Chain A
């Protein structure tokens, strides 16, 4: 890449642009296909176990089968569970009313007018990562796999990354003072193994691999679902031209992103950094001029 350390815009090789030699491994990521997620939470458990994460307490959130709630310092996979009215099915010729129990004539599919959406959320490992850009200690860094990882021995808990993330992923652990998030199992990757969550997923809803290949696979899967009549299937975070340069971990969703707790149009805050410094420069210059001018008058 001619233009190093881009903060916004197309970026095909984040690891290379971070200084890794050209023979660094291909960029790794997750494709989470929520259309085949069964909400079993094996990913949450595997992640906790492999990474030795503390428990979050046993809160019952009282909203759905999701009692985890959100990603956080000690929750690096979070399975969202949504019950909602199902999209209206395609019109079907019902024929004459029959004598059987309700729904018997229409088949099992037609009986219920709601559906369940399940989706395993994770750190997006953005191409342009807000957390990484703002970290003042270098604790957050880009790995050779193109992922974004916190070094716990460096982090001083300044909390900037927490507000830098447009997805609300990274969080400071209260009793420990440092920021934590998914590492895409950096230790396992270095050993040639797949991350614990993908390894545990029984339906291959969580797919791990080279990002380029995952994007192709995801595009084919969306096409397949559209052919099968699932018109609402769409990818989230797969587009390298989006506001964060595409996610290393992206999703196939069956509804709008905000229904799953994702921001609908995330943008890395760094995009506006030059503009923000420009306004700060104007304000600073004005202060300097005024401070000089106030000594010009009488008295």
Chain B
């Protein structure tokens, strides 16, 4: 029952390749030596828990028993690829950069303003590419604009981006008007509109940075749904850390103090919220700690911690150290989103993440009742 070919995603070439690499593809996130549920659907009588190496050692803490259909996954593996993680990173970075640029605009920090606006637009453009490329039918991306649907965070996010895009675009355009056009009427208009556009973008930016968390949580994916308290804080904090990192790269150290402070806030909250995700969710926390997700998230924590340390210790003194810290923060943001994506994917690929929490719920409160 755990032979290759039993995973739901096996008809997908990517999963097949993964299965080949692993030699023995199991619908389980358990690592070598971990206990794997190899019982038949009838439960106990068909066999005890067996370790990968064939021994029948009992674990120190017995794993909760659960039954399943030949160990097959119940939920579908999310259709989303790494591109969607890159989108979340880029969208969050853009939102954070818009906030930083607006603050820099109002407090007279031209380099930070300019870098924030242009960086914000570039990140949004990259994000839009990843977003459209991850569709099954990219040529139909505009079908998102047929409806506005409050129950779909993706629809809400689409409209948010539809409002945010032109605002950050205009703010960035005001920085990019070539010298010879700055005297012309359109040139002057764009430059005059830079501030209101930048402020409008900043007003929408917290929404842009946070809605993705609701998008992930509004699913049946156990790791995402049960992490709905932490995910928004990770999203916004990570976007603050990334934008702070960007600010430290684009602005001289004399202007970058707000960027350093934003990065510090973001990094601390991101690390704390991630930690909570790995401890609060019981069995489901395993999806955040193991496999590819665990690797990405550990890498994210390391880079984020290194980035914030570098920024606090050296960010005021050396532009090079500040830029290096900024790069570490940006890289940490990318790995954070990859980790969140893969934790969700992993939590769909083993039925235990579906059956055990629901069984516990039934045991404690009875089956869910709407009234």
Query: Which A residues fall within an 8 A CB radius of B?
Result: 7-10, 56-57, 59-64, 69-70, 72, 80, 82-85, 114, 130, 133-139, 154-160, 162-174, 176-179, 240-243, 245, 256, 258-267, 269-270, 272-273, 275-277, 279-288, 290-295, 297-299
- The answer to whether A264 touches B359 (Cβ under 8 A) is yes
Stretch at the interface among B132-140, B185-193, B287-295: B132-140
Of all A-B residue pairs in the complex, the 10 with the closest CB atoms, nearest first, are A157-B136, A84-B42, A177-B136, A159-B79, A299-B257, A261-B69, A156-B140, A283-B232, A284-B206, A291-B99
A158 vs B133: C-alpha distance when bound (angstroms): 10
Per-residue interface assignment for chain B, residues 196 to 235, with 1 indicating a CB less than 8 Å from any chain A CB and 0 otherwise: 0000001001110111011101111100110011011101
- The answer to whether B355 touches A80 (Cβ under 8 A) is no
- The answer to whether B367 touches A176 (Cβ under 8 A) is no
B139 to chain A, nearest CB (A): 8
- The answer to whether B8 touches A168 (Cβ under 8 A) is yes
Shortest Cβ distance from B239 into A: residue: A287
Inter-chain contacts of A277 with B (CB < 8 A): 214
Report if A85-B45 is in contact (Cβ < 8 Å); known contacts: A177-B135, A294-B265.
Answer: yes
CB contacts between A and B, total, < 8 Å:
314
A73 vs B134: C-alpha distance when bound (angstroms): 18
Inter-chain contacts of A171 with B (CB < 8 A): 76, 79
Query: Which B residues fall within an 8 A CB radius of A?
Result: 1, 3, 5-6, 8, 10-13, 40-43, 45-46, 66-70, 72-76, 78-80, 96, 99-100, 102-104, 106-107, 134-138, 140-141, 143-144, 146-147, 149, 151-155, 158, 202, 205-207, 209-211, 213-215, 217-221, 224-225, 228-229, 231-233, 235-237, 239-240, 254, 257-259, 261-262, 265, 269, 316, 344, 348, 351, 354-355, 358-359, 361-362, 367-371
A72 vs B106: C-alpha distance when bound (angstroms): 54
Inter-chain contacts of B225 with A (CB < 8 A): 269, 272
Shortest Cβ distance from A283 into B: residue: B232
- The answer to whether A168 touches B143 (Cβ under 8 A) is no
A60 vs B10: C-alpha distance when bound (angstroms): 12
- The answer to whether B219 touches A283 (Cβ under 8 A) is no
- The answer to whether A82 touches B362 (Cβ under 8 A) is no
Pick the residue among A9, A167, A179 that contacts B136 (CB under 8 A).
A179
- The answer to whether A172 touches B136 (Cβ under 8 A) is yes
Q: Mind listing 18 A-B residue pairs with CB under 8 Å?
A: A64-B70, A85-B45, A137-B143, A157-B79, A174-B12, A265-B359, A265-B362, A266-B220, A270-B151, A272-B225, A283-B213, A284-B232, A287-B206, A287-B209, A287-B236, A290-B240, A290-B262, A291-B100
